[in-house]
Amino acid sequence: MRDVGKKNVLGVGVDAVDYDAAVERIISAARERRALTVSALAVHGVMTGVTDPVHRHRLNSFDLVAPDGQPVRWALNLLHRAGLPDRVYGPNLTLRVCERAAREGLPVFLYGSRAEVLERLRQNLVAKYPALKIAGARPSMFRCTTAEEKEQIAGEIRDSGAAIVFVGLGCPRQEVWAYEYRDLLPMPLLAVGAAFDFHAGLLPQAPPVMQDYGLEWLYRLVQEPRRLWRRYVYLNPAFVALLALQALGLRRPGLSATLPPASEIRYG
């Protein structure tokens, strides 16, 4: 188990953790009914914080930010000698947490995506982990909610008896959601992105060799070029350039150089 704390990657605090440490922190918080905001960030997720000081404030307020992408793991090892042998990939983290939750009788809640995706996801998770208790599921409203609706959503999740919430709204909406609900829900809130579509069987994952060499972005770009081309054409080179500047000491971004949100967004 490896957990050497938060490290500065381009001004975003990323935890130098492995799977075992990340799962243990999540399960411990679930057992104790304690709030814990969690995200697994790849290059795109980190860059949403780099380019937006308000969102960087949210990310740097998270309790656990795992290195989802191989380039983020490489950055931790390069800048901070973290010695991480592998990334903490959001979809795999989801399964590992579900396995432990099933073993320990901790119910989970699925929030986000569409009703048909949630149903397929529920079926597949229960088939894989028969002892897993899914306390409830609620699809995204695909709009901003009112303050009253936010309270209703939080109340539904609390009343379900869930001990862990998986949030699949896409980056950065899911991180905004977790940040804004963290004071209403005394449990881990895990922003897991494409894990819902992957584990529902609706979106194929990159071959392991492409994942190992940090080329998952290329596989996804081929799958969804119209939606993703701007993300990868602009943000990937920017990440590499900024990483080089930080490694050379020519750029020293601070973790506190953020801007607190002036108001809520209330993604639903």
Which helix (H) or strand (E) covers residue 29, if one does?
A: helix 19-31
26 part of a folded domain: yes
Q: In sequence order, what are the residues at sequence separation of 6 or more whose Cβ sits closer than 8 angstroms to the Cβ of residue 89?
A: 40, 68, 211
Residue 251 lies in a domain: no
6-18 residue pLDDT tens:
999 999 999 999 9
Which residues have C-beta within 8 Å of that of residue 16, sequence separation ≥ 6?
2, 3, 4, 5, 6, 7, 67, 76, 80, 82, 84
Q: What is the structure's pLDDT at 181?
A: 98
> 180 in the Ramachandran plot: left (φ > 0), alpha (ψ -120 to 50) or beta?
alpha
Tell me if 180 is assigned to some domain. yes
pLDDT of residue 231: 78
For 121, the token pair is 């996801």
pLDDT digits (tens, 9 = 90+) for 167-220: 999 999 999 999 999 999 999 999 998 899 999 998 788 888 888 888 887 888
Q: Are 148 and 93 in contact (CB under 8 A)?
A: no
Residue 134 lies in a domain: yes
Regarding beta strands 188-191 and 36-41, do their DSSP bridges make them parallel or antiparallel, or are they unpaired?
A: parallel
Answer yes or no: is 22 within a domain. Answer: yes
pLDDT at 13: 98
Query: pLDDT tens digits, residue range 107-142?
Result: 999 999 999 999 999 999 999 999 999 999 999 999
Which domain does 162 fall in, by range? 3-199
- The total of structural domains in the chain comes to 1
- Does residue 240 lie in a domain region? no
Give the CATH number of the domain where residue 112 resides: 3.40.50
Let me know if residue 104 belongs to a domain.
Answer: yes
Binned at pLDDT 50, 70 and 90, residue 78 comes out as very high
| 100 is a domain residue | yes
